[in-house]
Amino acid sequence: MTSTEPNESNGTNGERQGIQSVETAMRVLLALESGGGALSLSAIAQASGMQPSKVHRYLVSLGRIGLTSQDAASGLYDFGAAMRRMGAEALRRTNEVAVAGGHAMRLRDRTGHSVNLAVWGDRGPIVVSWAYGTRPLPLTVRVGATLPLVTSSVGRVFLAHLPESLTDEVLRDELRGKEADWPAERLAATREQVREKGYAETRGSVIPGIISIAAPVFAAGDPLPLAISVVLPESLGTPDHVAEVTRELQTTVTEASRELGRAPQGRGELRDQPRRTSSRPTA
């Protein structure tokens, strides 16, 4: 009979053999991540579901290779220099549009509705991908089209989450001659509503007979979100169905944000944060 190393596990049900101790170490690192900051040994043990003595042994080994560190004064543990370098390099290699686009396609497959992905350009939100669903729509949206800020669900997502210094010029041009319809109070209320709800919904404001629901995708270290929106015929927009589609959308953007290194944080998410070099296309 062939023996295995103590820290190896034989795969079952077609799974490939792995190293159990590596997976256990990852539980410790994930416990550190879930804390949102430096943690005590007991807190890491509780979050990982392991005994403190076992967690301590893993922390010693992880600390030796720079994946964790311990503050000499407080005794609290946090990620180490090697972990920070790897995280930064992983983000540098990430194509945000490709990651978010994959999630958008799966959202289209789950809902059957058309889905698009937009980024911020020089003159407003720009559609960078459009996936048609099984429900016919009375519109054709080309990739590269610029969407309005205040009347589209995608535009309202960017209006709510981007610094006003980026949106002011575009907004002024869009509202020229329409200021009476969109006074400052209404704009402020629109921004606040999108931040509170986590998504924006419009009905027939851009194209009659269409409901559009959009939500932001955030990437770690980047103050510019992307936006994913679902577009469906207003004839299918019963309250229950719209609520179901909205839940699917929110699940999608949460998963996409997590894959990109950060889940949405809600109110005040994007305010005067330093911008890193992004791999997404610009217009």
- Alpha-carbon distances of 209 from 136, 139, 212, 231, rounded to whole Å: 12, 10, 10, 10
Whole-number Å distance between alpha carbons of 181 and 276: 37
The encoded tokens of residue 185 equal 């109070």
Mean pLDDT of 235-241: 91
CB 191 within 8 Å of CB 269: no
CB 158 within 8 Å of CB 187: no
- Report which of residues 95 and 249 the model is more confident about: 249
Mean pLDDT of 30-47: 90
Euclidean distance between the first and the last CA atom of the chain, given in angstroms as a whole number? 62
Give pLDDT tens digits for 72-110: 999 999 998 888 777 666 655 556 888 898 999 999 999
Q: Which residue in the block uniquely carries the two structure tokens 């939100």?
A: 125
Percent residues over pLDDT 70 in the chain = 81
pLDDT of residue 159: 95
Whole-number Å distance between alpha carbons of 139 and 12: 50
As a whole number, the mean pLDDT across the chain is 83
At 106, which amino acid appears?
R
Q: Kindly give, in sequence order, each residue whose CB lies less than 8 Å from that of residue 206, ignoring residues fewer than 6 positions away.
A: 147, 148, 151, 152, 212
pLDDT of residue 3: 39
CB 256 within 8 Å of CB 228: yes
Is the pLDDT at 153 greater than 90? The verdict is yes
pLDDT of residue 264: 43
pLDDT band at residue 5 using 50, 70 and 90 as cut-offs? very low
